[in-house]
Structure 1
């Protein structure tokens, strides 16, 4: 029988949230805005990562960085209740960040004016 890594045994409940955004700049802005707030509970762990939407894309390193438009957030918790509470708080923060982007981002305004 294989040994279970300590992090998996201590934090058996997990959820991955993948949020596609129009550009790498917006994805990176969301990442920076959301990672400022640390998880308050020692029973919850959260990791952020920017990823390419389609893993089969091959490009140069600069193009690959620009292609990372999905904000991937991984939550791990000791109980399903702690996971639910943490994700609910994250969704509220995410709603604020996306609302600010929609209202104030220059690229979004250019798209709206072009319609």
Structure 2
């Protein structure tokens, strides 16, 4: 059930996009979240939220289910939700986010031990 605050946010910011990025470990997902959330959205016409999640199992009807009580270490997906007043503002905000995400992932790929282990294991 949607609350009044949620309904107000949806009507004020009707355009939305959720990006779920799988990462090899919880530590990497948490590091990416901390690196990306320090930069505030510059536009008052855009809202952004972050969460660490797990891959949600698909239900029989093809929808995804929310699983409660998941161990923190299993949360390896960085989920970013954008809401904007116009589709153009959403596109501009997401483009900026993708550039920042590319930098964060590039640094992880070059410097992080867990990422290097993943690549060597292949």
- TM-fit CA distance, 1:5: 1.6
TM-score (norm 2): 0.82
Give the corresponding residue for 1:98: 105
Bigger shift: residues 91-100 or 104-113: 104-113
Q: 1:53-92 alignment to 2 at 5 Å?
A: 53-55=55-57, 64-92=71-99
CA distance in 1 between partners of 2:9 and 2:121 (Å): 49
TM-score (norm 1): 0.86
Aligned residue pairs, count: 111
Q: CA RMSD in A?
A: 2.3
**Alpha-carbon spacing, 1:20–1:114, altered in 2? closer, same or farther (3 Å):** closer
Deviations 1:31-65 (A, max 9, x none): 0000010000000000000001135797976xx10
Are 2:46 and 2:84, in contact at CA under 8 Å, matched by a contact in 1? yes
Gaps of 5+ in 1: none
Give every structure 1 segment of 4 or more consecutive aligned residues whose post-TM-superposition deviation is greater than 4 Å. Answer: 55-61
**Alpha-carbon spacing, 1:43–1:17, altered in 2? closer, same or farther (3 Å):** same
